[in-house]
Structure 1
Amino acid sequence: MKVLKFGGTSVGSSKNINKVINILNDYAKTDPVICVVSAVGGITDKLLLAGELAKNKDTSFNNTFDIIKDIHFSIVKDLVPNNNDSIMRYVDEKLVELKSLLDGIYLINELSPKTSDKLLTFGELLSSFILAETLKSRNAPAAYKNSQDLVVTNSNFTKAEVDYPLTYSNIQTYFNAAKQQITILPGFISKSKSGEQTTLGRGGSDFTAAMVSAALNVEQLEIWTDVSGMYTTNPKLVKQAYPIKKISYQEAMELSHFGAKVLYPPTVQPVLNLNIPIHIKNTLEPEVAGTIISNDDTNGNGPVKGISNINNIALLTLQGSGMIGIPGFSRRLFETLSLDKINVILITQASSEHSICLGIEEKDAEAAKLAIDATFENEIALRKIDPIILEKDLSIIALVGDKMKNHQGISGKMFSTLGKNNINIRAIAQGASEKNISAVIAQSDVKKALNTLHEQFFETKTKQLNVFITGVGNVGEKLVEQIKKQRKYLKENLKINMRIAGLSNSRTMVFNDDGLDLNHWKETLEAGEKASLKGFYEKTKSLNLRNSIFVDVTANYDVSNLYADYLRSSIGVVACNKIACSSDFENYKLLKQLSLKYNAPFLFETNVGAGLPIIDTLNNLMASGDKIKSIQAVLSGSLNFVFNNFSDKTKFYDVVKDAAAEGYTEPDPRIDLSGVDVARKILILARESGVEMNLEDIENTPFLSDSGLKSDSVDDFYKTLIEDESHYQNLYASAKAKNCQLKYVAQFNGDKASVGLQEIPEGHPFYNLEGKDNIVMFYTQRYPEQPMIIKGAGAGADVTASGLFADIIRIGND
């Protein structure tokens, strides 16, 4: 004999009921089947709503009743389109009874627990009868049995207590004599010893199925629902979650207590006592294996079996120096909550006895605070303890696993993983059995927390990075394409799952918390919402994705001013924009401090040498204990390109235009040619060397003509290049006469820095620097005579994008 219980969604439509019928017919071919049925999905809530409306003298209860009526009639007509008179007659009779009951509630303006139980029985009575009669109409060997004839309880309405000996005897007597292959039983409903209608409370249909299974000592109880078993965590929030093949009773109950709604713990006690396995199956996908709950846990999973959560939690804190060493505080606290029928979900107490924290449902929070403040009114008045502290909008997350106690470091991994994503923990609770580690966090952090912990404990060590890019111009477009091309490689070889979750240009912006489709990102961005720098930040923050990284591919002052906001929100920042790191030293210092405080990486390698590892090398030298004595560098790929291509056979204007067309200069070439860009770069290197310095401290010797320096616009500047061609030819002629090359050089010597055009003699490391290449020479304590040299392309969209990409990967490898 097999016992199958089908939940509300399994019988929520005629389509699903047909799936249930197919399952029952398949099982009945080999074994007698007992099928316990819940009310049609959503009907119990509608019955409760109708009752409340009627009690409150709201005539719209009639509308809710009409919906209930239409749902059931529609299901019958779909299931049994012909010869359904007997079914329709029964359904109509029950609905007439229901309408009379609601009218009565409306008239007396009262809904007692006893009446509430009677009201709620209609859902199961209707669904089970419809299923049984549909089976009979299709010639299945089925019979209907009202569970109220079998399950006997006391008169504790809404959550009646079962008389097990009498109930088990009734079940055994009936089924020992039953001849049919399929028996349909309504779940949840029962009758008291005096014959009054009662219900078994939340999870009552599971309870009915468990009692039948225990009374008949069947081999296995099957609970059919709309998911394929118990998952490693909530699959609606964590797409990588997957069903657990086998799990112990204790683990299943812990997960269920903390939000896994597949199973309601108290209802399975009858089968647990007899070690009857429970098999969770999916009505919509009956071929899927599902989850087996038993004491025979041979599953090869790690020590953590699942991660669960409960939302809408409030935290109550009772604290004060007057509690220390004084007995009775805990008793009075819990007694107060008990008298107000407030359930405590989580408890934690400091060893100093200075405070007790309680997690309760948020709906009970205000009542709990009033009751506790009243109980301790005298102690509060005498300032022995503080008024109760109430915090709302919280959730509890829990790691569950029988084997956690045998593995060191589980709690350490849990809390460090949460900490790295700046998920603040308000309270912690862990039982001595170590089967559950619970933490109270902000409800807004639940999705991030579950994804982060699932990645840590259940997935191949792949780290997901969520990238948000502002500035999808020349460099930004190259970066997107590089990420698109390398995603598979990163996942397979570096175990980094990189997703672009947000993009913005000057006109539009677009977001997708599952990652944008990079095959059509241009079209998606074109159709996006209106761009806003603050809006981009707010959306990035509100998505609250783990390992979020903001990438600034602009030269915009306002964008750089938002770095602090991103870092405070624990969102990493990767920037090729030099403005922030070359701004006032106090701002630079603040960004560094925020990065450390909020565990948010702040990387800006491309500020100095595009894709060259200049800052990274400098940081490694400093971290290893070396000291910078001096730096000599050619740091402008654009200026090096210009002076490598300028001669007495070319025009300075044409060469600058070529550099701009190749993307080597900023949109405003004056930033490059004035030396400001190079000054910012050497300033950044000086600061990274540990020296406090500002931009005005850098000696900048310009080579532009006076009119070029004073130009009011980019167009005016280009005109000066034509007009002042002789000025630039004189610079070239002077260098050529000395057999020198013109190079724009940056220098830093301990506490001084300068930039300017220099005539570099033959034999100098800078002399043969070609094209757009950069070169940096670090003279340090360890490299006093022969410097450490870094040389390579220092400008261009591809190499700059690759430098940004390298910074993002560096964050992923942390």
Structure 2
Amino acid sequence: MKVLKFGGTSLGDWERFSQVASILTDEAAQGRIAAVLSAPATITNSLIAAIDNATKGQSVQAIVEHIDTVFNHLLSGASPVLGEALESEFKVRFAHQLGQWQQKLKGIELLGYCPDEVQADFVVGGERMSAALMEVLLKAKGVQAGQLDPKQVFLAQGGILESAVDIQASRERAQNIDLNANQAWIMPGFCAANDEGQTVLLGRNGSDYSAAALAASLGASQCEIWTDVDGVYNVDPRLVNNAKLMSKLSYQEAMELSYFGAKVLHPKTITPIAQYHIPCVIKNTFNPSAPGSVVSRETDGSEAVKAISNLDNMTMIDVAGPGMKGMVGMASRVFAAISNAGVSVSLITQSSSEYSVSFCVASNDAKTAQDALERAFELELKNEFLEPIRLKSGLSIVSLIGDGMKTRKGIAAKFLNAIAAAGANLVALAQGSSERSISAVVNQQQVKNVLVASHRCFFDDSHDIDVLLVGAGNIGKELLEQIKGQQQVLAKQKIRMRLCAVTNSSKMHLDEQGIDLESWQDELAASEQAADLTKLRAWISDAQLRNPVLVDCTSNDAVAQTYPDFMAAGAHVVTPNKKANTGSLGYYQKLRHAALVNKRQFLYETTVGAGLPVIDNLKKLVAAGDELHKFNGILSGSLSYIFGELEAGMSLSEATKIARDKGFTEPDPRDDLSGMDVARKVLILAREAGFNLEIDDINIEGVLPDNFDATGSVEEFMQRLPELDAWMADMIASAKQEGKVLRYVGEIDEQGCKVGIAKVAADEPLFSVKGGENALAFYSRYYQPLPFVLRGYGAGGAVTAAGVFADVLRTANWTREVTQ
């Protein structure tokens, strides 16, 4: 025989009720079954509310009408299936039950209170009506069905409102039932009978417990708990988006999960089925084809940690003081006092110095526990052998659970790292001697962050990159296009790259779940949040970003000054912005120190040579012990293009105009022609090579002669530029007579650094470099007389964006660390 249980959400309306009936019909066709039913959703709460109103002398009419409406809607849906006789049978039962409810409510109102035995019999009426309607519905479908009375099957012990089934006695009772009399048995959940024959309740999750107890009493082959989820998840799916369904788990794992907050099964439910080794399957009423989760003696040992649970609304109580140390029996007295107060303890820790013992209780019980301790230790508190009892509320217990944790090394360390990555404060840590669980106490407001970080740490082998884009101009847009186009390739490499923040000069849009790369521009335009780097930095600290990467695609000095603060907030920094590395030497050194102490990456490959791997190669040479003796290079794609066109016979003004129109130059070509951009790149290379220089130490000769008037608007400048065409043509002709070409070159040698127009001979590496190419020649201790040369295209947003993209990818195997 198989036992199936259906909860209130599975029976809440006719469509759902009918679905359950279809499931039971199909199951009954396969073999004998017993179904345990809860009351339809809202009914039990309504019945309890009716009792509360009646004791206070308040009206119960609206509540009774609601209950009547719920069952009449169910009957209305069932009516076409039932036929006249079966419909009449249920109407008689419901009318009788409704009359009993109304009669008892009048009595409760007269008494002004409700005795426990009356309440118990009153609230299980919802379950009885569910069972009654299901019985007639199955009969209408041709299933031989009958009712099991839980008061005849179950013998329970304990309080009227919170009893436990005596399984052995109930098994003996069940032997007197002729189970062959029906193919399907229907039983109301949530209740049993005590020795005196009174109706008693089975407490929280009572219907689940009823099903487990019935399976144990009948010796069922399997128990199924049908609910509104596909099974047991390895973390609360309401808090963690990518929670995973567990196909199987052991009784012990399920017990630990339920004890530490999982809502699918209660510890009371697990005990009977574990005792008699009955598999329990958690299935979804609304997705019956799903396999569900199996709780049995077997477990899936492929993962050390099986699941993560959270138990909220906890308070930690500290009993501390010099009177604790070396005093035999103090802990015993503490927990005896708590036990006598009827308070359950969820977690215990004690300091090795014996100075204090701490434990967690439900916050609702905290005051009761405190009062009990103050009474038990009144003398010690009065004489200051103990400090005042301290309570810390607003806590949650987050627990790792899994049979595979036994003897596995490093589990606790990974757990602590995940808590730190979540930016949470660890209040206490405890591990069970079975090694099946490790529990951490954290502030409840941080519990979601801890769950997300822990789930990523133990169940997600993807490398996350959370992009925070500052600057949505040409390079920024091109970068996002490249990221969008590479999503499938990145997924194959288990790299999950998301755009989590984007900001321009006026607005920003933030979404820790990821911004759609198809519609980011519309979302940014629609955002009502003003651009604010301080708020962005604070958001990074609060949001659950596993690997945040600030990508600065501006040329703004103010943005560059914020890099250390972003690193302290846990973000890497990737940028083509040269302002940070060419500011003061002190700030340059501060950046490296910030990256070091915060264990973050500061990547700026595209500040020199666009997409060429210049910085990385230079760093590797220096790290390997090489020394830079001399450098010269063409470091501007726009000037490379212009001087290439000059060599081909084009005038300076025409070449500059075409380069501007193609987007090779800055919007104001004077920014390129001044040589300052090349000077900044030379300064970066010099500093990377170990030269402690400032920008003023570089001798800068621009393309334009000093006596040329380069003032005014861009258009005015462009109109005057032809005045230099003849001058430039003479320079080109002079170089040509020497068998040389003109190039705009940056140089580093023992005399210092300079940038300017140079005549380049045919046997030099830079002779053939033009058309927007960059080329860099490093002469070092290892590379001489032939230099180490890097050469490639160096102009345009696509090349720069590709270089930024490559830098961003270098952060893939990092995880967030927070140092403040």
TM-score calculated relative to the size of structure 2: 0.86
Q: Deviations over 1:7-58 (max 9, x none)?
A: 2222222222222111211222243211111222344445555656676787
Q: Deviations over 1:86-106 (max 9, x none)?
A: 434544554455466667777
Query: Does the residue aligned with 2:770 lie in a helix, a strand or coil?
Result: coil
Partner of 1:71: 70
Alignment of 1:52-63 (within 5 A): none
For the 8 Å contact 1:628–1:750, the answer to whether it is kept is no
The CA distance in 2 between the partners of 1:699 and 1:679, in whole Å, is 8
Q: Tell me by how many angstroms 1:249 deviates.
A: 0.8
Partner of 1:262: 264
Q: Deviations over 1:235-288 (max 9, x none)?
A: 444454443333211112122223332211222212211112212222222222
The CA distance in 2 between the partners of 1:706 and 1:325, in whole Å, is 87
Q: Which moved more, 1:741-750 or 1:552-561?
A: 741-750
Partner of 2:655: 655
Query: Does the residue aligned with 2:178 lie in a helix, a strand or coil?
Result: helix
Query: Does the residue aligned with 1:411 lie in a helix, a strand or coil?
Result: helix
Query: Does the residue aligned with 1:802 lie in a helix, a strand or coil?
Result: helix
The CA distance in 1 between the partners of 2:476 and 2:122, in whole Å, is 63
The CA distance in 1 between the partners of 2:782 and 2:761, in whole Å, is 27
Partner of 2:280: 278
The CA distance in 2 between the partners of 1:603 and 1:620, in whole Å, is 14
The CA distance in 1 between the partners of 2:457 and 2:345, in whole Å, is 29
Partner of 1:251: 253
The CA distance in 2 between the partners of 1:46 and 1:605, in whole Å, is 66
The CA distance in 1 between the partners of 2:650 and 2:606, in whole Å, is 31
Q: Tell me by how many angstroms 1:340 deviates.
A: 5.0
The CA distance in 2 between the partners of 1:281 and 1:796, in whole Å, is 57
Q: Aligned partner of 1:142: which letter?
A: A
Alignment of 1:747-758 (within 5 A): 747-748=747-748, 753-758=753-758
Q: 1:438 to 1:744 in 2, by over 3 A?
A: farther
Partner of 2:229: 227
Q: Aligned partner of 2:163: which letter?
A: A
Q: 1:792 to 1:33 in 2, by over 3 A?
A: same
For the 8 Å contact 1:421–1:547, the answer to whether it is kept is no
Q: Any unmatched runs of 5+ in structure 1?
A: none
Query: Does the residue aligned with 1:581 lie in a helix, a strand or coil?
Result: coil
For the 8 Å contact 2:9–2:228, the answer to whether it is kept is yes
Q: 1:256 to 1:696 in 2, by over 3 A?
A: farther
Q: Which moved more, 1:344-353 or 1:110-119?
A: 110-119
Q: Which moved more, 1:442-451 or 1:783-792?
A: 442-451
For the 8 Å contact 2:452–2:544, the answer to whether it is kept is no
The CA distance in 2 between the partners of 1:362 and 1:610, in whole Å, is 59
For the 8 Å contact 1:468–1:551, the answer to whether it is kept is yes
Partner of 2:90: 87
Q: 1:283 to 1:681 in 2, by over 3 A?
A: same
Q: Tell me by how many angstroms 1:806 deviates.
A: 0.8
Partner of 2:818: none
Q: Aligned partner of 1:806: which letter?
A: A
Query: Does the residue aligned with 2:768 lie in a helix, a strand or coil?
Result: coil
Partner of 2:773: 773
Q: Aligned partner of 1:434: which letter?
A: E
Query: Does the residue aligned with 2:771 lie in a helix, a strand or coil?
Result: coil
Q: Tell me by how many angstroms 1:501 deviates.
A: 3.8
Q: 1:389 to 1:638 in 2, by over 3 A?
A: farther
Q: Which moved more, 1:639-648 or 1:483-492?
A: 639-648
Q: Aligned partner of 1:267: which letter?
A: T
Q: Aligned partner of 2:606: which letter?
A: T
Q: Tell me by how many angstroms 1:402 deviates.
A: 1.4
Q: Deviations over 1:126-157 (max 9, x none)?
A: 33333223323444322233423433334524
CA RMSD, 1 decimal: 4.0
Q: 1:669 to 1:185 in 2, by over 3 A?
A: farther
Query: Does the residue aligned with 2:288 lie in a helix, a strand or coil?
Result: coil
The CA distance in 2 between the partners of 1:549 and 1:183, in whole Å, is 60
Q: 1:113 to 1:502 in 2, by over 3 A?
A: farther
Q: Which moved more, 1:359-368 or 1:568-577?
A: 359-368
**2:294 matches 1:292:** yes
For the 8 Å contact 2:743–2:757, the answer to whether it is kept is yes
Q: 1:360 to 1:479 in 2, by over 3 A?
A: farther
Alignment of 1:534-553 (within 5 A): 534=533, 542-553=542-553
For the 8 Å contact 1:502–1:540, the answer to whether it is kept is no
Q: Tell me by how many angstroms 1:184 deviates.
A: 1.2
Q: Which moved more, 1:139-148 or 1:287-296?
A: 139-148
Q: Deviations over 1:601-656 (max 9, x none)?
A: 33222222221112222333344454555554432222322333236954434433
Alignment of 1:86-485 (within 5 A): 86-95=89-98, 97-98=100-101, 117=120, 120-154=123-157, 156-173=159-176, 175-176=177-178, 179-297=181-299, 299=300, 301-315=302-316, 323-335=324-336, 337-338=338-339, 341-362=342-363, 394-416=395-417, 425-441=426-442, 443=444, 446-447=447-448, 449-458=450-459, 461-485=461-485
Query: Does the residue aligned with 1:279 lie in a helix, a strand or coil?
Result: strand
Q: 1:165 to 1:307 in 2, by over 3 A?
A: closer
Q: Aligned partner of 2:246: which letter?
A: I
Q: Which moved more, 1:190-199 or 1:792-801?
A: 190-199
Q: Tell me by how many angstroms 1:764 deviates.
A: 2.8
Q: Tell me by how many angstroms 1:112 deviates.
A: 7.3
**2:605 matches 1:605:** yes
Q: 1:570 to 1:99 in 2, by over 3 A?
A: farther
Q: Deviations over 1:739-787 (max 9, x none)?
A: 5444443445689654444444443323322222223344555446544
Q: Aligned partner of 1:286: which letter?
A: P
The CA distance in 1 between the partners of 2:742 and 2:392, in whole Å, is 67
Q: 1:268 to 1:616 in 2, by over 3 A?
A: same
Q: 1:344 to 1:677 in 2, by over 3 A?
A: farther
Partner of 2:14: 14
Q: 1:504 to 1:436 in 2, by over 3 A?
A: same
The CA distance in 1 between the partners of 2:516 and 2:186, in whole Å, is 49
Query: Does the residue aligned with 1:29 lie in a helix, a strand or coil?
Result: helix
The CA distance in 2 between the partners of 1:524 and 1:365, in whole Å, is 47
Larger radius of gyration: 2
Query: Does the residue aligned with 2:128 lie in a helix, a strand or coil?
Result: helix
Q: Which moved more, 1:608-617 or 1:77-86?
A: 77-86
Partner of 1:644: 644
The CA distance in 1 between the partners of 2:211 and 2:181, in whole Å, is 20
Q: Tell me by how many angstroms 1:79 deviates.
A: 2.5
The CA distance in 1 between the partners of 2:594 and 2:316, in whole Å, is 29
Q: Aligned partner of 1:253: which letter?
A: M
For the 8 Å contact 1:421–1:570, the answer to whether it is kept is no
Q: Deviations over 1:403-441 (max 9, x none)?
A: 222433433444455656666644332223211223344
For the 8 Å contact 2:282–2:293, the answer to whether it is kept is yes
Q: 1:195 to 1:693 in 2, by over 3 A?
A: farther
Q: Which moved more, 1:579-588 or 1:477-486?
A: 579-588
The CA distance in 1 between the partners of 2:226 and 2:165, in whole Å, is 24
Q: 1:154 to 1:457 in 2, by over 3 A?
A: closer
The CA distance in 1 between the partners of 2:627 and 2:109, in whole Å, is 85
Alignment of 1:34-53 (within 5 A): 34-48=34-48
For the 8 Å contact 2:643–2:770, the answer to whether it is kept is no
Q: Tell me by how many angstroms 1:726 deviates.
A: 6.1
Partner of 1:487: 487
The CA distance in 2 between the partners of 1:407 and 1:316, in whole Å, is 31
Query: Does the residue aligned with 1:286 lie in a helix, a strand or coil?
Result: coil
Q: Deviations over 1:342-399 (max 9, x none)?
A: 4333333343445545344455567767876887788789887766666555543333
Q: 1:326 to 1:724 in 2, by over 3 A?
A: farther
The CA distance in 2 between the partners of 1:709 and 1:316, in whole Å, is 79
Q: Tell me by how many angstroms 1:217 deviates.
A: 1.5
Q: Deviations over 1:551-605 (max 9, x none)?
A: 2222234544544444333233322223333344554444444444444433222
TM-score calculated relative to the size of structure 1: 0.86
Q: Any unmatched runs of 5+ in structure 2?
A: 815-820
Q: Report sequence identity in percent.
A: 36
Q: Aligned partner of 1:2: which letter?
A: K
Q: Aligned partner of 1:252: which letter?
A: A
Q: Tell me by how many angstroms 1:694 deviates.
A: 4.5
For the 8 Å contact 1:206–1:268, the answer to whether it is kept is no
